[in-house]
Structure formats: structure tokens, C-alpha cells
Structure 1
Amino acid sequence: MVELRIFTEPQQGATYDDLLAVAQAAERLGFGGFFRSDHYLHMGGDGGPGPTDAWVTLAGLARETSTIRLGTLVTSATFRLPGPLAVAVAGVDQMSGGRVELGLGAGWFEEEHRAYGIPFPALGERFDRLEEQLEVVTGLWATPPGSRYSHDGAHYPIVDSPALAKPVQDGGVPIIIGGGGRRRTPALAARYAAEFNAAFRSADETAELFKGARQACSRIGREPSSLALSAAQVVCLGRDEATVRRRAAAIGREVDELRANGLAGTPDQVADKLRSFAKLGAERIYLQVLDLSDLDHLVDIAETVLPLVA
């Protein structure tokens, strides 16, 4: 019915070894993907031991896993130039044997840009840069071997590039675009993405965003069903209510708030809410796991929820 993927927030405090343990557990337990955010600054807490770079991390995981899909939700277009980003992602795709997906967004967290000396233009320019990055990255990957790629862009002009390295996946690395924008975001998804993601939205909001993405496809003559739809929700599951409360406390959240704004409760309760997103058209759900030390949480989800929804 719906594929479940694990989604982590390592900027809140996680080492590579922490992420490796979660990724390997997710693979062993039958989840469809291991994804991570791409941030350089924590959002609450002390952020220790400090950030890890998303694509450096994924390169390591590519060699230490074998079947699970790997990717970002999402890489900020402000962080990397599109040419080097295309090279890096293609390289990780090669290292993984073709298991990588690239979530790409305009960027929003101004404080992390200030903390690490990254320019942070106004919103309109960030979207302009995102659109041009998508054009360049997909153009480089689509250029036939032995040919050259050029792009007369306002922000990222490309002249006579050999357009290497190449991903090993046919058609290039799948691109994920998401967000709450009602105009430019769905238009970019329709033009460039394999998947549109509605993150941390209610069922009603998700339905509206999915509708907008489908309509954007129709406007440019793309078959709407060719754009995969997905959602992301925080998860806090327990086989009993006491465990739900304990896991909510461990991530500093209230159970009632998590029930309203995420996937919280017993296996049947979580499965019911997952089915509600599947009925809206979500083909996969990214489960935001905030306590990376609690690998038993993944075990409980795999043993009690996966059989009910997969």
C-alpha cells in the first residue's frame, strides 16, 4: 500500500557512526530508504557533536549498505554550486550501485548560513537559483557521453562542460522537490522531479499540495501519475501507551501534540494514519526519527506497522 522510509535530522546531534547504525538497521528491517536532512546548524538543543555533511555521509553509507535507497530531504541550493553538486551526487550514485535520490530545495534557515559563511539571498533569488540549479544538474546528467554541455544562465553559466561524472541510474538520479509553495514549487516539481513531497502537513493540506502538483503536471502536458507523491511525518510509536509517552519525552515532545501533528500512538493508530495519507495518493512516507539512539523504535515499527501497510 505504501513504502516506508526512515528520515533523520543529524544536525540535532549525531556522528557518522550513529547514522550508520540507523541506516544499517533500516536496511536490515526492510524499510525502503534512509534519508537525511542537509543542515549545518541545530534547531534546538546544543547540536553536539556538530553537523555532518550530507553528501560526505551518504558516500560512506553507499559503501556500507547494499540495498536501501539513500538521499536527502533536502539539499539546499544555497550550499553548493550545481556543477560540483552534479559531480558529487553522480559519484555517490556510482558508489551505491544506483541507489541515490536527490532532494533539492531553495533553502530557508538563515541562521545556518550566517554560522558557516554561506550567502543567503532573498527568497525570490533563492528560487531563481534553485530553478537554474535544477536545469544545470539535469542538463549535465542528460548530456550524452562524449558531448559537451553549455548553459547561458544568470547565476550559473556553464561553458563547454564534459558533463562528467554520470550517474549509473537510467535517466539520472531521481530528484525530489517538495514544500508548501502553491506556484513555483509545484511547477518546478512538474518540470524536473520524479517525486513531490509534502512534509509535515495535515491530511487536508497534503491533499491540496498533491492536487497542485498534479495540476502543474497537466499544465505542461506531463502525465500526472508519472510524478510520485510522498509525505513526511514525525513518528513516535509504542507497543503500549507507556512506551509512547517515554519515547515522546525522549525527544522533548508532548504525546497529544505528536498525535495531532505526526504519527504517534500504538501500531494500529499509526497504521490508520498512514493509510489516510495513502488514500490521498502518497506512495511513500518518510518517517522522521528523532532519537537515533533508540534502534528498538525501528524494530517496533518494522515488526508491527510494516506488515499492516506495506
Structure 2
Amino acid sequence: MDLRIFTEPQQGADYDTLLRVAKATEDLGFDAFFRSDHYLAMGSSDGLPGPTDAWITLAGLARETSRIRLGTLMTAGTFRLPGVLAIQVAQVDRMSGGRIELGLGAGWYAEEHTAYGIPFPKEKFGRLEEQLAIVTGLWGTPVGETFSFDGKFYRLADSPALPKPAQERVPVLIGGLGATRTPRLAARYADEFNIPFASVEDSERQFGRVRAAAEEAGRKPDDLVYSNALVVCVGRDDAEVARRAAAIGREVDELKRNGLAGSPAEVVDKIGRYAETGSSRVYLQILDLDDLEHLELISSQVQSQLG
């Protein structure tokens, strides 16, 4: 089971904070550092000191780290034109020496679009499908050849399809709980399918849909990586768990129902239940980015038991 650190900087974090967490992620033996792609805080957070851009952040971290994978859960399809996104991701992949992964979603948070003057189109899923075709098509075009695309939402003509990523194939992550269109899209384009903040039962059901869609598309279901994203709150005793829950404005019982919370043994046991659904990777949503001792505890007493 791979454990990856997943951050939500729009809730309040600058680049220096993210750099500290990324370096701790690398030093403590975690597999990867991922971040959300949002420009506005959610809930009661004031979001100070303000948003950071996902791909600018990852470009910086690409030069400041050496081992961990880096990526997004999920880049909003509404934020960037697909050709521009393909260039950005390829460049950051080269800057990292081939350690980038692209999570790409349709975009959903209308308020952040309004706040920063970003168009929020009604038809987002169709755009996402074309974006995936364009980004992967640009990367997959042999050097010296051109790429063209004539879709409903985007048109590219005779693109040189440069630059190329350092990796032969940048892993593409698709996720969500949609019952029909999402599994089909994953079967066509995804290297990894991620389920955000869902129960063991819902994860098992959705993984089953994706496996069926992969078979229907002529792919082996096991060609995809299956993963979960879950909030984490671990403590050596009840008082430490309660303190960490209070720091992120959550209740312990709620966290235990909807995430990974409790003692290291409790968390290891619940991760095992997700593993039984076919999940081989968990993105641990870390909401208190100043609590690096939390990462140390997870590394020493949770990750160490998972093999």
C-alpha cells in the first residue's frame, strides 16, 4: 500500500509551508506529495495568506525535491486551456526529472470562478473528455509530427506538440463517483482511478464499475491503479487524536466514520479494509500543515506496518 501526502493549500498555506511539508514527505519515506488545484478557501477558513497556483507550486517543488512523485488531485479543467496545460505539465515533468502525475477533473467550485473571473461553462464533462484527448494526444505525437484536433469545444491545427515530458508517459489520474460516464472516461484515458472521501462500500462499488468499463473498452482492469483519498487524523492516544481533530475543526467520531482517524492500529486496520476493495494507494489529506509531528507519527507507526 502506497501512502501519499495530499494537501489543500487554498485553506491557508504559502509556498514555504508547502515546501516544508514536501521535504518532510520525502524525508519520511512517503511515496508522493500531491496538492489540490483551487483558488478559494472552502468552509470557515479565511484562506490567508491567499491561494497558490498548483503548477507553479509543483514547478518549485520539482527543483527542491529529488525522489517523491508530485501531482494534482485534481487539476480543474476549467482553469487552463488543454494545450497550455500540456505544455505546463510537460515542462514541470522535465524540471522534476520525470516525477510528475496529472490528476485532471472537470472543475466544480463555482464560487472560485466568480471570485477570480474564470469562466464556468455549463457543459464541463464534455470539455474534460476533449481535454484528456488533447493533452494525451499532444504528448503521444512523435517528435517531428504534428497534432490536430477538431472537437466541439477545442480545435488545434498542426501543433508541433512540444515540449515532450521526461517520462514516456505521464500518469493520468481520473476520479469521482459518477456511475457511468466517469468509469468510461477512466477506462479510456486513466492510468489511475481515484475515489475521493468515500466509504469502503462505495469504493468497492465504484472500483467494480471502472473494472467493468475497462473490460468493455478492451483493457485489462488490473492495468489501472485504484486509489482513495481520505482525511487522516492519527494520535498515540485519545487525547492526541482529539487535539488534532480540534485543530482542523472536526469531530473525532465523524473523522472515524468518514476518514482515517484514531490510533495507528485503528488506521492500519481501516486502510486494510480499503485494500480489500482493490485499492493499492491512499492519499492522506493533511489539513494542519504546521503539524509535521503528525507526518512523523504516520510514517513511523502506520506506514511501517503496511509493508
TM-score (norm 2): 0.99
**Aligned mate of 2:162, from 164, 172, 186:** 164
Sequence identity of aligned pairs in percent?
64
Once residues 279 and 186 of structure 1 are traced to their aligned partners in structure 2, the CA distance between those partners, rounded to angstroms, is: 20
Deviation at 1:177, TM superposition (A): 0.2
**Aligned mate of 2:280, from 279, 283, 287:** 283
SS state of the match for residue 101, structure 1? Answer: strand
Once residues 40 and 275 of structure 1 are traced to their aligned partners in structure 2, the CA distance between those partners, rounded to angstroms, is: 34
Aligned to 2:221: 224
**Aligned mate of 1:148, from 146, 167, 170:** 146
Name the aligned partner's letter for residue 219 of structure 2: R
Aligned length: 306
Once residues 66 and 198 of structure 2 are traced to their aligned partners in structure 1, the CA distance between those partners, rounded to angstroms, is: 32
Name the aligned partner's letter for residue 19 of structure 1: L
Aligned to 2:264: 267
Deviation at 1:240, TM superposition (A): 1.0
Deviation at 1:239, TM superposition (A): 1.0
Once residues 280 and 87 of structure 2 are traced to their aligned partners in structure 1, the CA distance between those partners, rounded to angstroms, is: 29
- In the alignment, structure 1 residue 18 sits paired with structure 2 residue 17: yes
Once residues 228 and 263 of structure 1 are traced to their aligned partners in structure 2, the CA distance between those partners, rounded to angstroms, is: 20
Aligned to 2:234: 237
SS state of the match for residue 305, structure 1? Answer: helix
Once residues 63 and 189 of structure 1 are traced to their aligned partners in structure 2, the CA distance between those partners, rounded to angstroms, is: 30
- In the alignment, structure 1 residue 215 sits paired with structure 2 residue 212: yes
Once residues 242 and 226 of structure 1 are traced to their aligned partners in structure 2, the CA distance between those partners, rounded to angstroms, is: 43
Q: Counterparts of 1:43-62 in structure 2 under 5 Å?
A: 43-44=42-43, 45-62=45-62
SS state of the match for residue 5, structure 1? Answer: strand
SS state of the match for residue 124, structure 2? Answer: helix
- In the alignment, structure 1 residue 78 sits paired with structure 2 residue 78: yes
Deviation at 1:87, TM superposition (A): 0.2
Name the aligned partner's letter for residue 104 of structure 1: L
Deviation at 1:67, TM superposition (A): 0.2
Aligned to 2:90: 90
Q: CA RMSD in A?
A: 0.5
SS state of the match for residue 197, structure 1? Answer: strand
Deviation at 1:72, TM superposition (A): 0.1
Once residues 233 and 309 of structure 1 are traced to their aligned partners in structure 2, the CA distance between those partners, rounded to angstroms, is: 16
Once residues 284 and 240 of structure 1 are traced to their aligned partners in structure 2, the CA distance between those partners, rounded to angstroms, is: 26
Name the aligned partner's letter for residue 20 of structure 2: A
Deviation at 1:190, TM superposition (A): 0.5
Q: 1:218-238, CA deviations, whole angstroms, 9 ceiling, x for partnerless residues?
A: 111111100110001000000
TM-score (norm 1): 0.98
Aligned to 1:4: 3
- In the alignment, structure 1 residue 257 sits paired with structure 2 residue 254: yes
SS state of the match for residue 159, structure 1? Answer: strand
- In the alignment, structure 1 residue 107 sits paired with structure 2 residue 104: no
Once residues 90 and 175 of structure 2 are traced to their aligned partners in structure 1, the CA distance between those partners, rounded to angstroms, is: 21
Deviation at 1:155, TM superposition (A): 1.1
Q: 1:45-88, CA deviations, whole angstroms, 9 ceiling, x for partnerless residues?
A: 10100000000000000000000000000001100000010000
Once residues 241 and 84 of structure 1 are traced to their aligned partners in structure 2, the CA distance between those partners, rounded to angstroms, is: 48
**Aligned mate of 1:307, from 301, 304, 307:** 304
SS state of the match for residue 139, structure 2? Answer: helix
Name the aligned partner's letter for residue 266 of structure 2: Q
Deviation at 1:291, TM superposition (A): 0.1
Q: Which runs of 4+ in 1 moved over 4 A?
A: none
Deviation at 1:307, TM superposition (A): 1.2
Aligned to 1:204: 201
Name the aligned partner's letter for residue 26 of structure 2: E
Once residues 205 and 79 of structure 1 are traced to their aligned partners in structure 2, the CA distance between those partners, rounded to angstroms, is: 29
Name the aligned partner's letter for residue 51 of structure 1: P
Once residues 90 and 187 of structure 1 are traced to their aligned partners in structure 2, the CA distance between those partners, rounded to angstroms, is: 25
Aligned to 1:30: 29
Q: Counterparts of 1:117-136 in structure 2 under 5 Å?
A: 117-122=117-122, 125-136=123-134
Deviation at 1:156, TM superposition (A): 1.1
Q: 1:99-158, CA deviations, whole angstroms, 9 ceiling, x for partnerless residues?
A: 000000011100001001111122xx1000000000000000000001100001111100
